[in-house]
Every structure is written in C-alpha cells, then in structure tokens.
C-alpha cells in the first residue's frame, strides 16, 4: 500500500485532547490522504463540526441517521484503508471492545476490515482501571494497534500516563501501519535501548559518544506500528518521544544496564541499539575540577559491565522468562564483518546488526546501511536507506525467531 492517497477515517472521541487531532488531520491531508472525520456526539462539544469539515474537505456526521441513502454506517468502514481513533476515550475503547454500534464511529469500527489504530488519552486512573486494561487487551488481541499514552501533564494540575502523544508521532505510527507493517508484533513486549551513555567525570563533564538515538527511536516507532508493547530505554537523546513507547530515561551505562535488565525479564525481544560506553572514570569528582590546577590529574578508566553479554549469559543460565531474542548492534570502523562475527559469538546474541561508522555513516544521519549476522551463520545485507527500513528488517528477523 502506498503511503499517500489512502482513504483514512479519523475517529475523534470526547477527550480534552481532541484539539490536537486537528493537527493530526492536517498531517494526513497535507500528505495527500483523503480523510473522513467521524466524531462522537460528545467530541463535538470540544471541537465543532465546521472545523472538521473545513480541515478535511469532507462531510462530517456522528449518527447513522444522516445521509442514510449512502448507507454510511457500512460504507465508511468498508472503504477505509486505515481507521485511527485519536483521542480514544475510555468510553470509546469500551464500546469498541464490546462490539457496540450505537453511533457512526462504532459502526465504522465494526465494518472496517483495514488496520485500526487507537490512540487513547485519559486520566491515569481511567487508563489504569482494570476495565480499561481489559478493553485494551481485547482490542489488541483482535489485531488493533493501541498506542500507549504518553506520560506528563494531564487536564488540571495532575501528571501521569494518559496524555495523547504528539500528533506527528501518532502520524508516524499510522504511516508505518499504512505501509503494510501492522500487527505481527501484537501481544509481544520488546525492549529497545537507544542513544549514547554519558560517564561523569565531574558534575559538568562527561565521556560520551556520537550516538543520536535515531536508529533506536526508529526501532521503537516501527515496533509500536507493528503492534508491540515497547519499552524504550533512552540515553541522552534529544528527539521527540515515539508515540506509544514506554520511556525510561537513563544517563550512564550503569543506569542503562539496570533499566534494560529489569525490562528484559518480561520481554520477548531486546534490541540493544544504544552506544554504551565500554569504560567509565574510576573516580568522579563531586565538585567541578578547577582549571587552576597546575597539571590536570589523569583520568583513570575502569571497564563498564557488558550488558549484551550479561543478557546472553542470564538466558543461557536458564533465566526464567528471559527474552527469546537478543539483538546487538556493533559499530565498527574497520574489518567490519570479521569483528562483527567475533562479537556475535562472544556475546551469545541471536542477531547482530553491524554497521560501519565514519564520516556521514551511521551516527546522526537519517540513513543507515548494515549487515545483520545471525547465530546460524547467515548474513542479511541491508542497503543504504531510511533507519526505519533497517528497523523493519530487524523486526522481520526477530518475528521469525518468535514462537
Ligand atoms: C472536560 C472533560 C474532559 C474529558 N476528558 C476525557 C479524556 O481525556 N478521556 C476520556 O476517556 N474521557 C474524558 N472525558 C469524559 C468523556 O467525555 C465522557 O466519557 C464521554 O461520554 C465520552 O464520549 P465518547 O466516548 O462517545 O466520545 C472528559 C469529560 C470532560 C467533561
């Protein structure tokens, strides 16, 4: 399916975040999609019909009793390439999970045979209520992509999970779903690490690396679009949070290790895309090291824990629910394949994505090229292209290894 010129149904329900969906609508129309907005009755209390009609260029209805000769309660769903409900209220999730058909949106959800994406937004209590959890689980079991809400400021002064993710990030998920990648990670929990660790020298200085987090974020974004529950362990990344990923922010290799090992216990796959420092200063100064010192003291380094090897060892030792698939990344500057093959064997991972780094290669660029080595000795070449394409190849290889 092409990424433009599709028929998209944008369902909007009565959450306070409905105003953000005007922006989502614009992203679809400006990319050449034909959008039919189907609001619920109560959604129109927040943003009125003229806004949706003017921005979409299409008629807007909430009930099945309008334009009955066109049988909209069936036709709109049948002709859609994608239905996205954003924001999805607790109420609309419940109605959809129970197959209700008491307005045009729920009728459309029952007649649609295309991919369906829900972007829930509500107060944390509503999101965490067992009724909502069960409804979300039901919708996911049936193949819908339900994007985890973001955490942050909610209506009023309270904060927590329940925010509608950034419209641009919801759009990215929809774009990937439209590109035909929906569903094959549904019901899976995957952990992705991204970015580059920082090892403190003193309160203001650190040893870091050039990783931007773009590849790890692409892995998280594509996994969400394929239906996975995603934990993204993010080290010092200045990018917008991918919609639907549970964010865990870390700074150092030690913190990254703790976060990854904790999340990995319940995961089907772990993809270690972060650039983790091999060494850290033995001592960190509690105060800023002054310039005035005659000669600076040398910085002595000690080895950081090898997280990838530890994941493999824990699994080999029979670590209960430890992930079935472990994927490492190797950034090499020379003897790329030989070094990669040796690393794969040393670490005991299932797949190793090897990329050559250097000027304009891998770090901070939107494109990447790599070879994926498998534990069985295969190598899969991924030609230069967007980091999301590389991410999709990695997930294809992961999916093959999942039961
Ligand atoms: C100011 C206000 C804000 C609301 N925000 C939300 C929300 O963010 N998420 C939600 O699930 N319900 C929210 N509600 C409750 C829904 O509007 C209510 O459950 C409504 O019946 C949902 O209708 P719908 O699902 O048909 O759109 C809000 C209600 C009010 C008055």
Task: Tell me the pLDDT tens digit for each residue of 58-69.
Answer: 999 999 998 888
Q: Each residue of 354-381: pLDDT tens digit? A: 987 765 555 667 778 899 999 999 999 9
User: Does pLDDT of 131 surpass 90?
Assistant: yes
Instruction: Verify whether residue 209 is a known catalytic residue.
Output: yes
What are the structure tokens assigned to 313, written together? Answer: 């060892």
**Is the bond preceding residue 293 a cis peptide, omega within 30 degrees?**
no
Find all residues with CB under 8 Å of 378, minimum gap 6, and list them: none
Ligand 1 atom closest to residue 105's alpha carbon, by position in its atom list: 26
159-163 and 150-153 strand pairing: antiparallel
CA distance 207 to 198: 6
Q: Which of the following is catalytic: 135, 209, 236, 368?
A: 209
pLDDT of 2 above 60: no
Question: Measured between alpha carbons, how far is 349 from 326 in angstroms, rounded to an integer?
Answer: 5
399 — phi, psi (to 5°)? -55, -40
Mean pLDDT, rounded, for 224-232: 93
Closest CA to 220 of 212, 231, 211, 209: 231
Q: Encoding tokens for residue 250?
A: 């870390």
Stretch 141-169: mean pLDDT: 88
Task: Tell me the average pLDDT across 202-211.
Answer: 93
25 Ramachandran zone, left/alpha/beta (phi>0; psi -120 to 50): alpha
Is 7-178's fold the same as 189-401's? yes
> Residues enclosing ligand 1, CB less than 6 A?
13-17, 40, 42-43, 89-92, 121-122, 126, 155
Alpha carbon 276 to chain centroid distance?
A: 20
C-alpha–C-alpha distance, residues 156 and 80, integer Å: 36
Asked if CATH classification 3.40.50.1860 holds for the domain at 7-178, the reply, yes or no, is: no
**CA 43 – CA 45 distance, rounded (Å):** 5
pLDDT-derived band at 148 (thresholds 50, 70, 90) equals very high
Q: Decide: 197 and 277 in contact? Cβ < 8 Å.
A: yes
Total Cβ atoms within 10 A of residue 23: 14
Question: Angle, to 10 degrees, between the axis of helix 253-264 and the axis of helix 307-316?
Answer: 30
- Banded model confidence at residue 143, pLDDT cuts 50, 70, 90: confident
Average pLDDT over residues 146-150: 93
- Enumerate residues 6+ apart whose C-beta is below 8 A from 14: 40, 41, 42, 43, 45, 46, 89, 91
Give residue 160 CA to ligand 1 midpoint distance, Å: 17
Distance CA 395, CA 397 (A): 5
Tell whether 246 is in a known binding site: no
Phi, psi of 298 (to 5 degrees): -65, 150
Instruction: Evaluate whether 333 touches 361 at the Cβ level (below 8 Å).
Output: no
Which has more confidence, 282 or 182?
Answer: 282
Q: How confident is the model at residue 319 (pLDDT cuts 50, 70, 90)?
A: low
**If you take atom 7 of ligand 1, which residue's CA is the nearest one?**
15
Query: Of 11, 13, 15, which is best to mutate to test ligand 1, by the most ligand atoms within 8 angstroms of its C-beta?
Result: 15
pLDDT digits (tens, 9 = 90+) for 16-39: 999 999 999 999 999 999 999 999
CATH class in words for 189-401: alpha beta
What is the number of other CB atoms lying within 10 angstroms of the CB of residue 87?
A: 29
Say yes or no to pLDDT of 159 above 80: yes
Residue with tokens 């009125």: 48
User: Which pair of tokens denotes residue 230?
Assistant: 């995603």
Q: Which atom of ligand 1 is nearest to the CA of 91?
A: 25
CB 313 within 8 A of CB 256: no
The protein residue whose alpha carbon is closest to atom 13 in ligand 1 is 15
- Going from the Cα of 16 to the center of ligand 1, the distance in angstroms, rounded, reads 7
Q: Is 305 annotated as a binding residue?
A: yes
Cα 343 to Cα 356: distance, rounded to the nearest angstrom: 14
Pocket test for ligand 1, best of 45, 91, 118 (most atoms within 8 A of CB): 91
Q: Which residues pair with 279 in a beta bridge?
A: 303
Domain boundaries, the chain: 7-178, 189-401
CA angle, residues 283, 287, 291, in degrees to nearest 5: 95
Round to whole Å and give the CA distance between 181 and 191.
19
Structure tokens at 316: 């080999």
- pLDDT value for 1: 40
Radius of gyration of the chain (CA): 23
Atom number of ligand 1 nearest to Cα 17: 8
How many other β-carbons are positioned within 10 Å of the β-carbon of residue 359? Answer: 5
């Amino acid at each position: 399916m092409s990424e433009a010129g599709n028929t998209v149904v944008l369902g909007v329900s009565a959450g306070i975040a409905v105003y953000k969906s005007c922006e989502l609508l614009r992203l679809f129309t400006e990319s050449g999609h034909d959008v039919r907005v189907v609001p619920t009755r109560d959604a129109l209390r927040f943003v009125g019909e003229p806004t949706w009609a003017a921005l979409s260029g299409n008629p807007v209805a909430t009930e099945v009793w309008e334009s009955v000769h066109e049988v909209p309660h069936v036709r709109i769903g049948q002709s859609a390439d994608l239905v996205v409900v954003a924001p999805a209220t607790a109420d609309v999730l419940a109605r959809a999970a129970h197959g209700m058909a008491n307005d045009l949106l729920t009728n459309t959800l029952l007649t649609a045979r295309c991919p369906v994406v829900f972007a829930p937004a509500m107060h944390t209590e509503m999101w965490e209520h067992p009724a909502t959890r069960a409804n979300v689980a039901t919708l996911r079991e049936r193949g819908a992509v339900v994007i985890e809400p973001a955490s942050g400021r909610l209506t009023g002064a309270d904060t927590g999970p329940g925010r509608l993710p950034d419209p641009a990030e919801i759009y990215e998920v929809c774009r990937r779903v439209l590109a035909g990648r929906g569903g094959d990670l549904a019901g899976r929990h995957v952990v992705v690490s991204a970015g580059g660790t920082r090892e403190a020298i003193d309160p203001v200085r650190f040893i870091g690396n050039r990783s931007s987090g773009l590849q790890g974020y692409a892995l998280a974004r594509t996994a969400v679009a394929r239906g996975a529950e995603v934990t993204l362990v993010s080290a010092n990344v200045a990018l917008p949070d991918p919609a639907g990923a549970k964010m865990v922010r870390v700074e150092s290799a030690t913190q990254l290790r703790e976060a990854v090992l904790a999340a990995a216990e319940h995961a089907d796959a772990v993809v270690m895309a972060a650039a983790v420092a091999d060494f850290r200063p033995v001592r960190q100064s509690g105060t800023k090291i002054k310039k005035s010192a005659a000669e600076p003291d040398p910085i002595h380094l000690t080895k950081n824990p090898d997280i990838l090897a530890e994941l493999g060892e824990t699994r080999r030792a029979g670590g209960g629910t430890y992930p079935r698939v472990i994927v490492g990344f190797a950034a090499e500057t020379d003897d790329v394949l030989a070094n990669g093959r040796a690393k794969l064997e040393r670490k005991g991972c299932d797949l190793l994505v090897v990329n050559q780094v250097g000027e304009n290669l891998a770090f901070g660029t939107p494109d990447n090229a790599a070879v994926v080595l498998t534990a069985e000795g295969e190598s899969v070449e991924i030609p230069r292209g967007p980091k999301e394409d590389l991410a999709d190849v990695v997930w294809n290889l992961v999916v093959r290894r999942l039961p």
